[in-house]
Amino acid sequence: MTTTLTHRASGPVFPAATWLRRSTWLVLALLAACTGGGMVSPGAGGPSVDQQRHRLARELAGTPVTVEAAGDGYRVAVPLKFAFDPKRSAVKAPLAAVLDRVANGVRPNTGAEIHVTAPSDGRGGALLARDRAESTRDYLIARGVPRERFATVGASADSAEVEILVSERGATAVR
């Protein structure tokens, strides 16, 4: 015996099994749309690293921020003048806006590994650069990215950018 469901306004009569299949697909489609949708990387929740890179590149297009493929992940580079004030390690608003977007992509991806480097401004040396990298990491942690996702945090002597490398855990990040 087949149970049927009817809706008086629309008229069609669907067997219950068909209605449930259609409802299930609708719910899954809505959930995918709410979470950014798309494929999920194997063994990890959330959008894949490649999907995160494409989303960030779209969102940050037209800004001085660089988002590019790097090895099996991606690299986000924020020019120093938009990241920190001279001789300071407090995150400036433009860098915070970028970090918010990075955190939104990385947080649900349990397979993501993050490397953060930051430069000095020529006045504070390696200690200032390390403090800036740690401030960047701490900002991401405050936005819900687990501390254990950070593989390295360090100073960058040869760059004038804050650099965030995101890759699949266990893979080698490449510049």
List pLDDT tens digits, range 91-142: 999 999 999 999 999 999 888 999 999 999 877 788 999 999 999 999 999 9
49-168 CATH, one of 3.40.50.970, 3.30.1330.60, 3.40.50.620, 3.50.50.60: 3.30.1330.60
- Residue, of 4 and 85, whose pLDDT is higher: 85
- In this structure, what token pair is assigned to residue 110? 């349990």
Average pLDDT over residues 22-29: 37
Task: Grade residue 45 by pLDDT with cuts at 50, 70 and 90.
Answer: low
Q: What are the residue ranges spanned by the domains of the chain?
A: 4-34, 49-168
The DSSP secondary structure of 12-79, one letter per residue, reads: -EEEHHHHHHHHHHHHHHHHHHHTT-S-B-TT--SB-HHHHHHHHHHHTTTSS-EEEEETTEEEEEEE
pLDDT greater than 80 at residue 32: no
- Quote the radius of gyration of the chain (alpha carbons, Å): 22
Give the CA angle between residues 34, 37, 163 to the nearest 5°: 100
Q: Which residue type occupies 163? A: E
The pLDDT score that the predictor gives to residue 76 is: 96
Q: What are phi and psi of 71, to 5 degrees?
A: 60, -125
Residue entry with tokens 């991606």: 74
pLDDT tens digits along 46-103: 778 889 999 999 999 999 999 999 988 999 999 999 999 999 999 999 999 999 999 9
- Residue, of 135 and 23, whose pLDDT is higher: 135
The pLDDT score that the predictor gives to residue 24 is: 39
The pLDDT score that the predictor gives to residue 96 is: 97
The pLDDT score that the predictor gives to residue 25 is: 35
- In this structure, what token pair is assigned to residue 67? 């988002």
Length of the chain: 175
The pTM for the full model equals 0.70
The pLDDT score that the predictor gives to residue 171 is: 53
